[in-house]
């Protein structure tokens, strides 16, 4: 039975398209006077956040509440996690409280997988970002945003579209999930980064790579800028921030090289002046704020498809 | 709710309404709605996907021909309001499109292909509750096959079709399917 969403690779083409079309219906809810649907009435969703996050946690919380689920927020700070409780004991507590879904963010890659397959909990597990591994719902909201702008909101709409993902790929769970999902949806992904910020084994990813941003930009339909994750860096990956910005930052001059329909994306949080300049982030091409709005709709779709029926309609098969 | 999304060939069923019968029934329903409502003012037609939507559009076309006035048409998906949501795998949502004028203070006519247990309509009434407050809600169906499980009735009926519970009523509509037809099929091996 399918129960979890741990990796963007868990989603087949049909699953991913189903999430997108469902999210499209969920998005129209925002225009209605009563922004609530009854689909998850009586179900409990636990947001289990071992790592700091504002937008992802709020987004999941809003999504679950709009579907009428009960939401319990559980963050590492101010809970027994900070007193040294293990993941296992936390999981057993959640199980005893009757959680139907656990949305988990963890600093260690693979923690959601452990939670899902340990037998500690019977609930569905949704990966909300684990270490430098994956962040599947972010990939889904990015794909949804591209699908609305470039894919005419129809099945197969992203087929053959060119997406450039630029920056700190090495530390980015967003890049990995996006590469996997966009490939599933038929788009062509090019990862652009300095050699030091591309992971080992990148040859095995279903992507092209480039060290030269200026040669990639004119062909791209969507450009996704990644934050340089200095908190995960222990060493010199590039000489100076200024040199990084000059070679891999998106500024007004580079933006002028883009095709007319090309959109600029960023998963947030942005560092203005580093990977993206303020005039680009605030330009008409930027869909960064829209990505946040779409995040709620996409997470509603995921929660509905995992929990709404007697068994999930998407995700990993056990 | 018994119109199946992917109809098998209609050859194994008995055709009870053909394309001309359906056209006549929809024309009569359109006139009845206008007569009952004393014109097309305040009317909003909401089809229940999937086959209620083209039916609502056809009724609106006929009303436009008679009244010279475009009645707003939309759709309301009831999937998440169904009482059997928890009993099957989560289903794909269908489009909900509320006309720009909304439904507050309007006379909403729900349009569906087959009225059976009444549970779909109950779900639709719940869905409307979250969308606005209509002045009145009416129900138009192409076929009423009986066997109600809730105190719900249709205001406008294309054809009353007495059926047995083991039979299946199928509505096909040009645009969604190949042809216009309403057929009754017995259970395999019985008819």
Tens-place pLDDT, residues B152-189:
999 999 999 999 999 999 999 988 888 999 999 886 55
Model confidence at B75: pLDDT above 90: yes
What are the structural domain ranges in chain A? 8-135+292-307, 136-287
Neighbouring-strand partners of residue A189: A163
The pLDDT score that the predictor gives to residue A1 is: 35
Residue A14: CB atoms within 10 A of its CB come to 12
DSSP-derived secondary structure letter, A8: G
The continuous run of DSSP H or E covering B119 comes out as helix B119-131
Per residue in A181-195, pLDDT (tens digit) is: 999 999 999 999 999
Whether the per-residue pLDDT at A77 is higher than 80: the answer is no
CB contact (8 A) between residue B86 and residue A311: no
Helices (H) and strands (E) in chain B, counts: 3, 8
Confidence of residue A44 (pLDDT cuts 50, 70, 90): very high
pLDDT at A53: 86
CA angle B139, B142, B146 (to 5 degrees): 80
What was the pLDDT predicted at A81? 67
* pLDDT band (50, 70, 90) for residue A80: low
pLDDT at A78 over 90: no
Mean pLDDT of B49-68: 94
Cβ–Cβ under 8 Å, residues A118 and A90: no
Give the pLDDT band (50/70/90) at residue B8. Answer: very low
Mean pLDDT of A10-19: 94
* Model pLDDT, residue A316: 61
Question: Between A176 and A82, whose confidence is greater?
Answer: A176
Do residues B78 and B65 lie in contact, with contact meaning Cβ atoms separated by under 8 Å?
no
Q: How confident is the model at residue A82 (pLDDT cuts 50, 70, 90)?
A: low
Please give the share of chain A, as a percent, with pLDDT higher than 90: 75
Average pLDDT over residues A262-268: 95
Joined together, the tokens standing for residue B25 give 């029934």
The per-residue b/e assignment along A171-209, b for 16 or more CB within 10 angstroms, e otherwise, is bbbbbbbbbbbbbbbebbbbbbbbeebbbeeeeebebeb
Q: Which of A33, A39, A311 is opposite residue B132, by nearest beta carbon?
A: A33
Residue B191's pLDDT is 42
Residue reference for tokens 């059997």:
B84
Tokens of B38: 């004393």
User: Please, what sign has the CA dihedral across residues A114, A117, A118, A120?
Assistant: positive
Chain A residue with CA closest to B87: the answer is A310
State pLDDT tens for residues B114-127. 999 999 999 999 99
- Using the predicted structure, report yes or no on whether residue A198 has a pLDDT greater than 80: yes
The mean per-residue pLDDT over the stretch A186-206 comes to 94
Q: How far is CA A302 from CA A64, A101, A127, A187, A199, in A?
A: 10, 11, 11, 21, 29
Across the interface, do A25 and B96 touch by the CB < 8 Å criterion? Answer: yes
Per DSSP, A72 falls in state E
Q: What is the pTM of this model?
A: 0.90
Helix locations, chain A, DSSP H: 13-28, 55-66, 87-97, 111-117, 136-150, 173-184, 213-216, 241-248, 252-255, 278-281, 288-307
pLDDT greater than 50 at residue A146: yes
The domains of chain B, with CATH numbers, are 20-83+91-164 (3.40.50.2020)
Tokens standing for A212? Answer: 């030269």
CATH number of A8-135+292-307: 3.40.50.1370
Nearest-CA distance A16 → chain B (Å):
12
Identify the weakest region by mean pLDDT among A18-22, A244-248, A307-311.
A307-311
- Taking only residues 139 to 158 of chain B, the set having a beta carbon closer than 8 angstroms to any beta carbon of chain A reads none
Q: What is the mean pLDDT of chain A?
A: 91
B43-47 and A208-210 as β-strands: parallel, antiparallel, unpaired? unpaired
Question: B interface mutation test: which of A3, A32, A35, A66 has the most B CBs within 10 A?
Answer: A32
Question: CA of B79: which chain A residue's CA is closest?
Answer: A39
- 3-state helix, strand, coil split of chain B in percent (to 5) is 30, 25, 45
DSSP state of B84: T
d(CA A25, CA A202): 36
Token pair 């656990």 in the structure block, residue: A102
What integer pLDDT is reported at residue B1 of this predicted model?
A: 45
Q: pLDDT at residue B111 above 50?
A: yes
pLDDT at B9: 46
A19, A11 Cβ separation under 8 angstroms: yes
Nearest CA in chain B to A35: B130
Using pLDDT thresholds of 50, 70 and 90, give the confidence band for residue A2: low
Domains A8-135+292-307 and A136-287 are alike in CATH topology: yes
Gyration radius of chain A over CA positions: 19
> Quick one: fold of A136-287?
Rossmann fold (3.40.50)
How far is Cα B2 from Cα A7, in angstroms, rounded to an integer?
Answer: 37
Q: How confident is the model at residue A85 (pLDDT cuts 50, 70, 90)?
A: confident
Mark yes or no for CB contact B89/A311 under 8 Å: yes
Closest residue, chain B, to A311 (C-alpha): B89
């Amino acid at each position: 039975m399918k129960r979890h969403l741990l990796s963007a690779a868990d989603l087949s083409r049909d699953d991913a398209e189903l999430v997108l079309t469902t999210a499209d219906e969920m998005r129209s809810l925002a225009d209605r006077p009563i922004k609530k649907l009854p689909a998850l009435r009586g179900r409990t969703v636990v947001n289990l956040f071992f790592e700091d996050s504002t937008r992802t946690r709020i987004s999941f919380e809003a999504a679950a509440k709009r579907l009428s689920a009960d939401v319990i927020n559980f963050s590492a700070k101010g809970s027994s996690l900070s007193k040294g409780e293990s993941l296992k004991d936390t999981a057993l507590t959640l199980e005893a409280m009757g959680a139907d879904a656990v949305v988990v963010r963890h600093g260690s890659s693979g923690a959601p997988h452990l939670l899902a397959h340990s037998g500690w909990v019977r609930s569905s597990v949704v990966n909300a970002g684990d270490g430098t591994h994956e962040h599947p719902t972010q990939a889904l909201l990015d794909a949804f945003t591209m699908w609305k702008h470039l894919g005419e909101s129809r099945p197969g709409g992203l087929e053959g579209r060119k997406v450039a993902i630029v920056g700190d790929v090495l530390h980015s769970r967003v890049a990995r999930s996006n590469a996997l999902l966009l490939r599933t949806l038929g788009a062509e992904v090019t990862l652009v980064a300095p050699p030091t910020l591309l992971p080992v084994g990148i040859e095995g990813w279903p992507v092209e790579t480039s060290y030269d941003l200026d040669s990639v930009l004119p062909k791209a339909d969507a450009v996704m800028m990644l934050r340089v994750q200095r908190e995960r860096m222990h060493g010199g990956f590039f000489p100076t921030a200024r040199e990084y910005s000059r070679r891999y930052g998106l500024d007004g001059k580079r933006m002028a090289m883009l095709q007319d329909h090309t959109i600029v994306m960023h998963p947030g949080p942005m560092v203005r002046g580093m990977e993206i300049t303020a005039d680009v982030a605030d330009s008409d091409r930027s869909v960064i704020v829209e990505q946040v709005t779409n995040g709620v709709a996409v997470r509603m779709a995921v929660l509905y498809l995992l929990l709404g029926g007697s068994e999930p309609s998407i995700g990993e098969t056990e | 709710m018994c119109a199946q999304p992917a109809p098998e060939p209609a050859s194994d069923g008995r055709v009870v309404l053909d394309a001309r019968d359906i056209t006549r029934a929809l024309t009569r329903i359109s006139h009845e709605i206008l007569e009952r409502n004393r014109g097309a003012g305040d009317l909003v037609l909401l089809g229940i996907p999937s086959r209620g939507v083209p039916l609502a559009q056809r009724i609106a076309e006929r009303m436009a021909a008679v009244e010279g006035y475009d009645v707003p048409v939309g759709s309301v998906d009831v999937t998440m309001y169904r009482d059997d949501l928890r009993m099957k795998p989560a289903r794909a949502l269908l489009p909900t499109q509320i006309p720009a004028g909304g439904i507050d203070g309007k006379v909403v006519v729900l349009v569906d292909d087959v009225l059976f247990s009444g549970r779909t309509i109950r779900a639709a009434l719940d869905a409307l509750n979250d969308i606005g407050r209509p002045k009145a809600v009416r129900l138009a169906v192409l076929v009423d096959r009986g066997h109600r499980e809730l105190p719900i009735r249709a205001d406008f009926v294309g054809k009353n079709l007495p059926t047995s519970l083991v039979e299946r009523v199928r509505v096909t509509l040009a645009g969604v399917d190949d042809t216009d037809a309403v057929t009754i099929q017995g259970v395999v091996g019985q008819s």
